[in-house]
Amino acid sequence: MIAARELRSRLRDRSALIVGVVAPVAMALIISFATGGAREAFHAQVGVVDLDGGEVATVFVQEVLGSSDLRSVFTSVPLATREEAEAAVAEGRLSAAFVIHAGVERITVLRSPTARIAGEIATSVAQNFAAQVSGVGQAIGLTVMATMFGPDAFGADGFRPTSLGDLDVDGSAFEAIDIGALAEEVAAAPMPVELVDASTGPSALSSASYFGPGMAMLFVFFLLGAAPRSLLAEAESGTLARLKAAPVSVASVIAGKGLAVALLGFVSMCVVWGVTAAVFGATWGNPFAVVVLLLAFVLAALGITTVVSVYAETEAQADGFVSIVAFVFAMLGGNFLFLGDLPRALQQIARLTPNGWALQGFTTLTADGGGVLDVLGPVAAILAFAAVAFAAAAPGLRRWTTR
């Protein structure tokens, strides 16, 4: 009987439907979309700078990158200069770029720190191509040698020429060349492939440096959700009525609670910063810029948790709403996956979340060694989220504190 009553009560609660059905479905869709598990396979845009202009380079562009297998993975974008390619990769317009140097003496792969999958595939493609070019070179060399010295030159002890065209050659004058060793030597020294991370910063972006802020952002939502939840709890317990009866303004009560949890949220993010730096060697970037980014994000997250909580009827419902928003923003914002590895559309959607902007800011600080001025854009965007959220929460707060 009690279970039936509780079940009826839960079903009447709209948050049960949202938390139990809508959120899991939405999360499943987002994850499928992000990992390409549903319909869309991995695909990235890569740049190609052909500084050679010869046939080998043409083969690489047309036959390798243009092959049916790689066409489904990469879309090649021809570029004129290495600098142009570096800028495109650094800004995230391209996931990686190939620079084929004059004489095809080496291939440089420019990789984005936030598009790891594309970078790995590009590296693999370049290394395979280089190995094949080296193998072809070895085969051509042997064919030329056989033509010049005749098949008898290849004795049991290796290559020892006995003739050179019509001339007899005293093979004993040559030291026998071990063909197998020669092949191994050639194979071991293929055309060099140079890997370059397209960041101008002091260090490449490590997982800890990316996911440290990401996870701090996710969990600060739960922490900050405590402020509006505690107001709801006070309303339910009656202490809010007592606070409202006291000679203090309701606004100051709300502001006091907000300030307390905002401080707590900021401190918690700083602690994550310290721990990831000390334990995992993460670098979050210029400390002053990091603090600015964290403060902006805490404000935005406080606004968002407030707006979703003030329209809840109970503390439990508010809890559910905050959890949903925290996870959806984390998923869309790139807190669980490198933003650069996400499909293009999701990279754009990430900009609809403060998480996405914050991660862009942190990536700029870490990978490019930027300072406060370099993250002003993301900070402004995050503060805009905060302003919109608080404006949307205001009518709900008013209605809710006067009921």
Which residues contact another protein (rule: CB under 8 A)?
A: 237-239, 241-248, 402
358 token code pair: 């914050």
- In the bound state with another protein, the residue whose beta carbon lies nearer, of 8 and 398, is 398
- Cβ 402 to another protein, closest distance in Å? 6
- In the bound state with another protein, the residue whose beta carbon lies nearer, of 41 and 246, is 246
What are the E-state strand segments in 153-244? 154-155, 158-159, 163-164, 167-168, 193-197
- Cβ 237 to another protein, closest distance in Å? 7
CA dist 275 and 209 (Å) reads 11
- Cβ 401 to another protein, closest distance in Å? 10
Q: How far is residue 369 from each of residues 111, 113, 157, 271, measured CA to CA in Å?
A: 17, 13, 58, 21
- Cβ 226 to another protein, closest distance in Å? 14
- Cβ 320 to another protein, closest distance in Å? 23
- Cβ 235 to another protein, closest distance in Å? 11
CA dist 50 and 57 (Å) reads 7
- Cβ 2 to another protein, closest distance in Å? 22
- Cβ 256 to another protein, closest distance in Å? 11
- In the bound state with another protein, the residue whose beta carbon lies nearer, of 160 and 257, is 257
- In the bound state with another protein, the residue whose beta carbon lies nearer, of 156 and 245, is 245
- Host H or E run for residue 232: helix 226-237
Using DSSP's 3-state secondary structure scheme, residue 97 falls into strand
CA dist 270 and 121 (Å) reads 35
CA dist 64 and 264 (Å) reads 54
131 token code pair: 């190995």
- In the bound state with another protein, the residue whose beta carbon lies nearer, of 180 and 247, is 247
- In the bound state with another protein, the residue whose beta carbon lies nearer, of 173 and 246, is 246
76 beta partners: 46
CA 296, distance to chain mean position in Å, is 21
CA dist 91 and 368 (Å) reads 10
Give the CA angle between residues 169, 172, 174 to the nearest 5°: 80
- In the bound state with another protein, the residue whose beta carbon lies nearer, of 165 and 247, is 247
Using DSSP's 3-state secondary structure scheme, residue 337 falls into coil
What residue type is 244 in one-letter code? K
- In the bound state with another protein, the residue whose beta carbon lies nearer, of 231 and 300, is 231
